[in-house]
Structure 1
Amino acid sequence: MPSSVPPSFRELLGDCTESAVHLEMRDAYAVDYESGPFAAWRAGYRHDPTDRASWWRPWLDLVAETVSRGVSIRRARIVSDPVSEYIRYEHSGTFTNVAAGEQVRWLPRRQASDIALPGNDFWLFDGRVVQWNHFAGDGSSQGPEVTDVPGAVKLCAGAFETVWERALPHDEYTIR
């Protein structure tokens, strides 16, 4: 990448012309157990699919705008089975991502054992730029890292496509 200042996520997505794929491999990300959306979900709150205004948010606007430009956005999640409480939370709200135009699939971790996976979650933009998402052990973000190194791009593209082929579409994946 020629610039010493990496592009923002919004810029990377804005520059996409064909595809953005996202692989998530953690069973939990940093959440506030005392307040916020995860705490509300734990207390029994669920999004009402018929009340779009109550759950539509800036991320979903960005997805819808990107998809309307003809860019395919696919997200695959590798999850342990049985799933963590956090994955239950993510699963219950994923219909919002789908409504915005994302395609989402789920793969039980046992079915990923023979896939060469990168060490971190990532986004791959137009099959040429990777944004690694680094996390601490507690799930807190340690910031992104952007690269266009061919070996990293090839690893991420291959890993994602293999996961995608094996994974179940969101509407077919049930939590046990």
Structure 2
Amino acid sequence: MKRTTAVLLGIAATGFGAASFASTYVVPSQFGAEGTEIVLEDARLNADNMFDKIDVNADGLISIDEYASQAVVNASLSRFNGVVAIDGRQTFHITLPSEATGRLAPYEQTTIDAIARNEFYAFAGSDSAMDRREWIAAKLNDFAEVDFNEDGRLTGPELEVYTLNFARFQTSVS
């Protein structure tokens, strides 16, 4: 019994030491440094970098299914990780408000998919597919819609609206 108690106390002491070390060690973010603004060029580069990831079949076009899937996946990952990652001139992230984090409910996934399919046709053109130019135009439109003062950079409330839109938080059917 005394030996078991000593072993358990040793394990507990090791655990507390590790927890103390872990609380002082800052793990670098896999999403790059925390950003406080997004400039138009970063939004353009991010869109350009995303295109090849979304074009799953590598045909140089984004189909409606690829478009809708990326909307659900980006929302799911952003909310799960609590950040919107931007791969612009450098990779950085913007932290989402805590209320916008967590898992997507099944009804949210369905709603995001439906809204994305509707959005798709605004930029897809008559061929019902998005090429790289159309995709980038759609993403720059998302940027322009929240650049309220039209200065080519998103900060403060503009940035918060942009990231919440990216994470498809508070999506409603209209």
Q: With structure 1 as the length reference, what TM-score do the two structures score?
A: 0.28
Q: Which has the higher helix share?
A: 2
Query: Which structure would you say has the larger Rg?
Result: 2
| Greater percentage in strand | 1
